[in-house]
Amino acid sequence: MSMSAEPSATSTEPSATSAEPLVMSAGASADPLADGSAGFDLRHHGDAEVRGADAALTDLAVNVRAGTPPDWLKAHIAASLDGLAAYPDGRAAREAVAGRHGLPVGRVLLTAGAAEAFVLLARALPARRPVVVHPQFTEPEAALRDAGHTVGRVVLEERDGFRLTPAAVPEDADLVVIGNPTNPTSVLHPAAVVAGLARPGRTLMVDEAFMDAVPGESESLAARTDVPGLVVLRSLTKTWGLAGLRIGYVLADPDTVTALERVQPLWPVSSPALAAAEACCTPSALAEAARAAHRTAADRAHLADRLAELAELAESAEVRVCGPAAGPFLLIRVAGAAAIRTRLRELGFAVRRGDTFPGLGPEWLRLAVRDRATTDRFVIAMTKAIADTAA
């Protein structure tokens, strides 16, 4: 078994809302897509792996930092409950987010998680040719489809290390969606390359839900005001363990923020969520998040190193790790991934299947980064799962 990142031509995959999509390699004519991409389950997410009785599994499927929220944040949120009789007032939280990024308040919109932001953008923007860069989080495409848009796909490929090829994005695309760092590939695209996708008349939507897990938040566009049509989405879910509270925000020009507000329900963000947003933007919280990002990077390196050792422990399968990785997760390719994933569940571990992401297939798995002790236990289980499924 060998470990490698197999760096290929980028393909574009224009797809109608319900029609069978087509795939185009660079310089080639369109041919009917043969891999069934029209059938991807865009609404499958990692939490489905750990629901109900499966909540007892060791969770490497959900990309929320373990051991969160911290006690101080839980106490702050709990203190906000005394004000539940009043309607939510988001002004202080909005000012805190604006200050955190050095932006005017008019460029900030608070949302019930980044997922709500995807829906608002899909409903508010009159896009004629929206394009989503895949593999990436599937909710933006699902929201666009639900809003009646015909969605095109630009599919980045393994042989290029899933790196962005700007020329693959159609010039007439008036909405381009990309994640940075990208879920599930963990690739961090250079800010200059992403910003280079901007065009007059085009909205460039950058999902930075995992950017605060990158030390120094290198390559972020959050504070940029010079990129035309730029919309940055952020989430407090991953670093702070607030998936159940639903809090995120949009950073965009004031006209776009106003357009999104028009389609947003009244009082969309709860008072406890607003309290969390304000608290997570304080200098002490930002310092804690920065320390967590460095720990995550070290723990990710440990996970990659331990996976590399599988090359010596299990000769029957080839494991490829997508890299270099920058997010709090790794994407791996291994033959028989579906059976291995099932066997891992029997051994007490949940991992994220990769076959619901356009551009990936049944041989892919995504692994959340955990502490070193958990990783060591997981690698033992992974070794056994590979051996058992190969027998």
Interval 151-164: pLDDT, tens: 999 999 999 999 99
Are 52 and 104 members of one domain? Answer: no
Asked if pLDDT for residue 14 goes beyond 50, the answer is no
Q: Which of 246, 264, 286 finishes a domain?
A: 286
* Banded model confidence at residue 17, pLDDT cuts 50, 70, 90: very low
Range of the domain at 374: 11-25+44-66+289-390
pLDDT at 228 over 90: yes
Query: Among all chains, which residue has been given the structure tokens 């958990």?
Result: 374
Residues 91 and 224 in one domain: yes
State the CATH number of the domain containing residue 175.
3.40.640.10
pLDDT for 206: 98
Angle between helices 139-146 and 113-124 (to 10 degrees): 40
Same domain flag for 49 and 89 = no
Cα R_g (the chain), whole angstroms:
21
pLDDT, greater one: 18 or 312:
312
Is the pLDDT score of 331 beyond 70?
A: yes
Cis before residue 166, ω within 30 degrees of 0? no
Q: How far lies 218's CA from each of 213, 237, 338, in Å?
A: 10, 19, 35
Whether 280 and 293 share a structural domain: no
Q: Decide the pairing of beta strands 175-179 and 203-207.
A: parallel
Q: How confident is the model at residue 391 (pLDDT cuts 50, 70, 90)?
A: confident
Can the peptide bond before residue 181 be classed as cis, meaning omega within 30 degrees of 0? yes
Regarding whether 141 and 60 lie in a shared domain, the answer is: no
How confident is the model at residue 311, as a pLDDT?
A: 61
**In terms of domains, do 83 and 221 share one?**
yes
pTM here?
0.91
pLDDT range class, residue 33, cuts 50, 70, 90: very low
Residue 5 CB neighbours (<10 A): 16
The answer to whether residues 21 and 112 belong to one domain is no
Is a pLDDT exceeding 60 seen at residue 15? no
In a domain, 32, yes or no: no
- With contact defined as beta carbons under 8 Å apart, do 229 and 347 qualify? no
| Residue 18: pLDDT band with limits 50, 70, 90 | very low
Is residue 330 included in any domain, yes or no? yes
On average, the pLDDT of the chain sits at: 90
Cβ neighbours, 10 Å, residue 380: 13
> Is the pLDDT at 27 greater than 90, yes or no?
no
- The number of domains in the chain is 2
Do residues 21 and 144 share a domain? no
Domain check: are 102 and 239 in the same one?
Answer: yes
Instruction: Calculate the alpha carbon distances from 185 to 5, 108, 129, 364 in Å.
Output: 11, 28, 25, 10
Domain end, chosen from 229, 251, 286, is at 286
